[in-house]
A and B are shown apart, each in its own frame.
Chain A
Amino acid sequence: MLRIHDEISIVLGGSAGQGIQTIESLLMAALKSQGYHVFATKEYMSRIRGGSNSTEIRITSQKRAAYAKRIDVLFPLDEGVLTHLAKRISSKTLVLADTKLLKKKYAHAILDVPFSRMAKEFGNPVLSNTIAVGVVLGMMKVEMADFEATLRKLFGRKGEEMVKKNIEAGEAGYKLGQHLAFLQGLDIQIPRRKQKQEDLLLSGSDALGLGVVAAQCNFIASYPMSPGTTLLTFLAQVGQRLGIAVEQAEDEIAAINMALGASYAGARAIVTTSGGGFALMEEGVSLAGMIETPIVIHIAQRPGPATGLPTRTEQADLNLSLYSGHGEFPRAIFTPGSPEEMFEAGQMAFQIADRYQSPVFILTDQYLLDAVGNVSEKDLKRLPMKHMIVKTKKDYLRYTLTEDGISPRGIPGFGEGLVIVDSDEHTQDGHLTEDLEMRVKMMDKRMKKADGMRKEVLKPVAGGAKQGNIVVVGWGSTKGAITEGLENSKREDIRMLHFKQVYPLPKHLETYFEDAEKTIIIENNFTGQFANLLKQEGVKVTDTILKYDGEPFCVEELTKIFKGL
C-alpha cells in the first residue's frame, strides 16, 4: 500500500500547446475550492510550441510556497517528459499515462490510463484534460459535487451542452481514479480546512498586478520581454475597466522616457522589463533621479548575461538595479518573496516613489511571477494612497530648497505656476545652471531624501527558530523554500531573516545579527550580490549558499543543507 499523507506533489509534463495549462487551472480551482492549500510552479522552454515543459502542483495541509523536487504522481503527456524529468522520478513516483501517447520504450513502470480513448468516446478529444483532472480528484476522494461546481463555473460561459459533457467526462475520470487508487492500494489523505474557502488563486504576476492597481497606477509603457511582460499584459487586460493608459513602446528607452513624461504630467507610472531591457532603461533612471520625477520600475529577473536563459529564473540583477544610472541619487529597491508581499511591494513602491520623487524598483523573477497559489484576501493589505501633487501658485519653483530635500511637486496645467524640469543641473526654478554653488545645494537637497527613505524601509521578516546563533538570510523569491527547508530540518538553532526591501537597508542593521555566530546568505546567483551589500553595510557574513543553474532552490536541497549546518 502506498500512503501519501499530509501533502502530495503532482507533476504534469508535455510539450507546449498540449493542454498542461488547462489541467493545471482546473485542478487548482477544484482543489482550492475544497479547502486545500495549493501551490503550482512551472518550468518551460523558450518556444511557442513543442519542447518539454512541466508544472508541479503541490497539495498541502499547510500553506506552502516552494518548489519541491520530489514527484509523487506524474502525468506525462508524451514520452519526452520521462527523459526531461528523469532525475526527479523515483521508484516511489506513480506514473499515470495514456500509453497510446508514448511512442518510445520507457524505463518506468507506467499505469495505463486511457485519457484520449475515453475522450474520444465522449466525442471530443479536448475532454481528456477534464478526465485527467477527474482521475486525480477521484484518487484523492474529493467530493464529486464540488468538482461539478468547479466545472460549471469554468465552462459555464461555453454553454450548457459543454458543461454537461465536461461533467460526464469528469465523472468518468473520477470513477477511474477511485478504481485505480483501490487497485494500487493508494491511500492519499491530505487534511484540508473544514470551511469552504473563498481564497483567491493568484500567480505572482497577478499579485503584483493587483498591488500596482491598488496603488492607483494609471500609466504603463513597456516593451515585451520575458518574464516581465506579464505585468504589462495584466494591466492591459484590466486597463479599460480601471482607467489605465497602456502603451507598448518601440523600445525600453522610449518606455521609460514616456513613463517619466507621464509622471511629470501627473500620472502614476510604471515600466516593466527584464534585466536586458532594463539595461536600456538606465539613462531614464538617472533622469528620474535628476528631475525628481516618481517612477516605478519592475525588473523580472532571468539568468544572464545577455539573452541568457529566457524562461528560467535567477536573482542576479540586484547590482544592476542598485548601481544603475550615472551619477548619484537616492533610490529604493523592494524584493517581495510571496504573493502577499508582491501586493504590498506594488503599493509601497508607488508610495515611496511619489513621496520622495525618486526611482523605485521592484525586483522579482520568473519563478516568483509564474508560481500560483491560494491567497487569503485578508492577507492582502491595502495601504492608504496619498497623492502628493500640489496646486501651483504663480511664483512656483519646482526645486525649492527644503529641510528634508522634498520640494512640493506641481504638474503642468494644475495651478498658475510653471513646472520646469531639466536633466542639466538646475536652479530652484528648474532652469539649467552652471553655478557650482547651486550644484552643491541641489546635490545635498536630492541626497537628503535618502535619509527619509531609510526611515521608512520595510523591515526584514523573521522566520525559523525564535532564537539561534545561526542566521540564514534570503531576499525575494527564496522565502518559501528557506521557510519550508528550515521547518523540515527541525533545527531549533537556525533563524531566518528575509529581506523584502534590500535598499536602503534599515538603520542599525547590526542589531538583526547580534549573537549570530554564523550568518549565511542564500541567493540565486553566482557572486552573492546581497551578501556583498550586507558586508558593505558592516554585517559579518560567514558563508553563502548560491545557485545559478536557472532553477529556484528546492525544498529538499535546503533541508539537507540546513540539517548539515
Chain B
Amino acid sequence: MANTQQFDMPHDTDIAWCPGCGNYPLLIILKMALAELGIAPENLVTVSGIGQAAKAPHYFRGHVFNGLHGRALPPATAIKAVNPSLTVIAESGDGDTYGEGGNHFIHTIRRNPDITNLVHNNMVYGLTKGQASPTSEKGMVTPIQVAGVTMEPFNPVSTAIALDASFVARVFVGNVVQAKEIIKQAILWEGYALVDVFQPCVVYNKINTYQWFKENTYALPEEYDPTDRQAAFAKSIETEKLPLGVIYTNSSKKTFESQLFTAGSALYTKRFDEQAFSDLLHSKR
C-alpha cells in the first residue's frame, strides 16, 4: 500500500466532524487513492462549497479553494481550464451539489471539464441540523418537513446519464476497496467524473444508516458494460437495491479546457502578444 502520510495534516488539526461520521472513511479512502496514483499535494487542488462535507479539503494536504455554498463546480472548472497540469477535485455534499448548485451540476456535465466530482451523499442536511436534502427519501420526517418529505428524491446518477456525462459512478464508504478503486478511476478519467458517495450521517439520518446502505446496495457484476447508455439508465432507476460501481462511461467526449482558445499550458506562463494587440488597435482605424 502506498504511503498516505504526505497528505496528513498536523495532529492538532481541529476536525469539525462528529464521531462516527461517514466523512472519516471517505477521507481515508481518498488519501489512499491519491497516494496510490502518485499525485503530489503540490499538484492537487480540491475545491469545495459549504457544509460538513465541504470542510474535507481542510483535512488533507493540497491546494484548497473552499468557496461558497453550491459553487464548487464553477471555480473547479476554471482552475482546470487555467492550469490543465493540476489535478482538480470538486468535493461537497448532496445539498451543496444537487440543491444549491443544481444548475452548475447540470451545466458542468454538459461542459465536461477534466475534474473529479466527489459528492458526499448522506441524504440529509447535517450542518444546518437535520433538514431534508434533495436526496432525502419521501416521507422522511425532519424539524421542517414535519409531516414527512413530499418531494421525489433527486436521482443524480440518472440525471448525469440523461445528460450523457462522461463518467458516472456510485460508491459506499463501507466498501473501502471498491470505493478506492472507483475514485482512482474517476481521477484518471479524462473528462468530468461524478462519484456519488453513500456515507451516513450518524446524528441526523436515522433511516439511511451504515446498516441500511449495506442492506440496500449491491456491487455491479464484473461483466456489467458501462458504455451501454440505455442499460446504464435502467440501472440508475432501480429502487429496490441501489447499484454500486461505475454505472456509465462515455470516452468519446472532448474536455472543456481542450477546446478553449487558451488550451495547453498554464495561463500564468503565457506572454502578452504586443503585435496582436497592435494589430487589433489598428484594425479600428
Chain A positions within 8 Å of B, measured between CB atoms, are 198-202, 206, 210, 213-214, 216, 218-219, 221, 238-247, 249-251, 253-255, 257-262, 264-267, 269, 283-284, 287, 291, 377, 380, 385, 387, 389, 411-414, 416-424, 430-432
Measured CB to CB, the closest approach of chain A to B214, in angstroms, equals 33
Instruction: Decide if B83 touches A265 in the complex (CB within 8 Å).
Output: yes
Which among B41-49, B142-150, B203-211 touches the partner chain?
B41-49
Instruction: Decide if A259 touches B78 in the complex (CB within 8 Å).
Output: yes
Closest to B58 in A: A431
Measured CB to CB, the closest approach of chain A to B41, in angstroms, equals 6
0/1 string, B51-71, CB within 8 A of A gives 1: 000010010011111111001
Measured CB to CB, the closest approach of chain A to B182, in angstroms, equals 25
Asked whether any CB of chain A lies closer than 8 Å to the CB of B1, the reply is no
Contact A413-B68, Cβ < 8 Å, known A200-B281, A218-B262: no
Instruction: Decide if B65 touches A264 in the complex (CB within 8 Å).
Output: yes
C-alpha spacing A425/B211, complex, angstroms? 37
Closest to A387 in B: B268
Contact A260-B280, Cβ < 8 Å, known A254-B74, A265-B86, A411-B268: no
Asked whether any CB of chain A lies closer than 8 Å to the CB of B140, the reply is no
Per the CB 8 Å criterion, the residue count for chain B at the interface is 49
Tell me which of A216, A257, A416, A421 contacts B42 (CB under 8 A): A416
Instruction: Decide if B62 touches A200 in the complex (CB within 8 Å).
Output: no
C-alpha spacing A547/B42, complex, angstroms? 55
Instruction: Decide if B81 touches A283 in the complex (CB within 8 Å).
Output: no
Instruction: Decide if A244 touches B262 in the complex (CB within 8 Å).
Output: yes
- Contacts A210-B284, A264-B79 aside, 5 further interface pairs with beta carbons under 8 A come to A200-B285, A218-B267, A259-B78, A283-B71, A422-B66
C-alpha spacing A243/B269, complex, angstroms? 12
Measured CB to CB, the closest approach of chain A to B109, in angstroms, equals 11
A-B contact pairs, 17 of them (CB 8 A): A198-B285, A221-B74, A238-B280, A261-B65, A262-B75, A262-B81, A264-B75, A265-B86, A266-B267, A266-B268, A267-B267, A284-B71, A291-B65, A418-B63, A420-B58, A422-B64, A431-B58
Instruction: Decide if A254 touches B104 in the complex (CB within 8 Å).
Output: yes
User: What residues on B are CB-neighbors of A244 within 8 Å?
Assistant: 261-262
Measured CB to CB, the closest approach of chain B to A449, in angstroms, equals 21
Asked whether any CB of chain A lies closer than 8 Å to the CB of B82, the reply is yes
User: What residues on A are CB-neighbors of B279 within 8 Å?
Assistant: 241
Tell me which of A257, A389, A419, A421 contacts B74 (CB under 8 A): A257
Measured CB to CB, the closest approach of chain B to A165, in angstroms, equals 25
Asked whether any CB of chain A lies closer than 8 Å to the CB of B85, the reply is yes
Which of B45, B55, B273 has the most chain A CB within a 10 Å cutoff? B45
Instruction: Decide if B267 touches A260 in the complex (CB within 8 Å).
Output: no
Closest to A426 in B: B66
Within 8 A of A (CB), among B230-285: 260-262, 266-268, 270, 272-273, 276-277, 279-281, 284-285
A-B complex: 7 closest residue pairs judged by Cβ atoms: A261-B75, A266-B268, A261-B78, A257-B74, A250-B107, A412-B63, A262-B78
User: What residues on B are CB-neighbors of A257 within 8 Å?
Assistant: 67-68, 71, 74-75, 78
Measured CB to CB, the closest approach of chain A to B257, in angstroms, equals 8
Tell me which of B47, B58, B78, B261 contacts A432 (CB under 8 A): B58
Instruction: Decide if B284 touches A219 in the complex (CB within 8 Å).
Output: no
Closest to A293 in B: B65
Instruction: Decide if B64 touches A421 in the complex (CB within 8 Å).
Output: yes
Closest to B106 in A: A250
Asked whether any CB of chain A lies closer than 8 Å to the CB of B5, the reply is no
Contact A202-B79, Cβ < 8 Å, known A243-B261, A261-B47, A385-B272: no
Asked whether any CB of chain A lies closer than 8 Å to the CB of B124, the reply is no
Asked whether any CB of chain A lies closer than 8 Å to the CB of B103, the reply is yes
Instruction: Decide if B68 touches A265 in the complex (CB within 8 Å).
Output: no
User: What residues on A are CB-neighbors of B81 within 8 Å?
Assistant: 219, 245, 247, 262
Asked whether any CB of chain A lies closer than 8 Å to the CB of B183, the reply is no
User: What residues on A are CB-neighbors of B281 within 8 Å?
Assistant: 200, 210, 377, 380
Instruction: Decide if A261 touches B79 in the complex (CB within 8 Å).
Output: yes
Contact A412-B45, Cβ < 8 Å, known A219-B267, A267-B82: yes
User: What residues on B are CB-neighbors of A287 within 8 Å?
Assistant: 67-68
Instruction: Decide if A258 touches B273 in the complex (CB within 8 Å).
Output: no
Contact A420-B74, Cβ < 8 Å, known A200-B285, A413-B83: no
Instruction: Decide if A422 touches B58 in the complex (CB within 8 Å).
Output: yes
Asked whether any CB of chain A lies closer than 8 Å to the CB of B76, the reply is yes
Asked whether any CB of chain A lies closer than 8 Å to the CB of B187, the reply is no
Instruction: Decide if B261 touches A245 in the complex (CB within 8 Å).
Output: yes
User: What residues on B are CB-neighbors of A218 within 8 Å?
Assistant: 262, 267, 270
Instruction: Decide if B280 touches A241 in the complex (CB within 8 Å).
Output: yes
C-alpha spacing A420/B285, complex, angstroms? 46
Asked whether any CB of chain A lies closer than 8 Å to the CB of B77, the reply is yes
Instruction: Decide if B276 touches A242 in the complex (CB within 8 Å).
Output: yes
Asked whether any CB of chain A lies closer than 8 Å to the CB of B171, the reply is no
Instruction: Decide if B270 touches A243 in the complex (CB within 8 Å).
Output: yes
User: What residues on A are CB-neighbors of B270 within 8 Å?
Assistant: 218, 243
C-alpha spacing A218/B55, complex, angstroms? 31
C-alpha spacing A249/B276, complex, angstroms? 26
Closest to B44 in A: A412
C-alpha spacing A333/B272, complex, angstroms? 26
User: What residues on B are CB-neighbors of A431 within 8 Å?
Assistant: 58, 64
Closest to A343 in B: B281
User: What residues on B are CB-neighbors of A269 within 8 Å?
Assistant: 78
Asked whether any CB of chain A lies closer than 8 Å to the CB of B194, the reply is no
Asked whether any CB of chain A lies closer than 8 Å to the CB of B50, the reply is yes
0/1 string, B93-108, CB within 8 A of A gives 1: 0000000000110110
Measured CB to CB, the closest approach of chain B to A74, in angstroms, equals 28
C-alpha spacing A287/B65, complex, angstroms? 11
User: What residues on A are CB-neighbors of B71 within 8 Å?
Assistant: 253-254, 257, 283-284
